[in-house]
Homo-oligomer: A and B are copies of this chain.
Amino acid sequence: MPTSEEATADRLTSNQCWDYIRRAQFGRLAVIVDGQPEIFPINFAVDHGSVVFRTAAGTKLSGALSGNTVAFEIDGYDDNLSSAWSVVLKGTASLLADNEDLLASEDLPLFPWQAGTKNAFVRIDPEVTSGRRFIISNVARRNVLRGMGLYTE
């Protein structure tokens, strides 16, 4: 049974979720590190129904590969700020080690935000895909526009 909160948002179908994911290039990865949640911004590509990102050694990589489930999120506004949406994938992350995988991934549009060595490719195989779309209230819309400097009343 939906909570009162969920009752006011539309659940997206899996197809709708993937439409958003394919159009996005940038999301956030949540992993558990030492029993605590961590969030990292990542840019990513979609490859055969999975999400692939590129990273260097560090907390993001070790957290992603710790054996726990990871969560990946993208969000945004639809045209005219009439609605906001959020899509979350949950699944397991694995390092791409196979040569064929790596070669294929080199062709993915994974341009790192910053220059630097980001030699590990990580794939998230989604087990759960969920998304919600919220109708934005007029007050919230004005607030968002104000934040963008587009509403000054």
Contact = CB atoms under 8 A, between A and B. Distances in A.
Interface in A2-25: 3-9, 23-25
A83 to B, nearest CB: 9
Given A75-B28, A118-B5, A111 B134 contact: no
Interface residues of A, number: 57
B5 A55 contact: yes
Stoichiometry, as copies per complex, reads: 2
Contacts of A8: 114-116
B140 A71 contact: no
Contact of A36 (B39, B69, B137): B69
A79 to B, nearest CB: 11
7 contacts: A4-B56, A5-B57, A28-B28, A31-B37, A37-B69, A111-B137, A113-B134
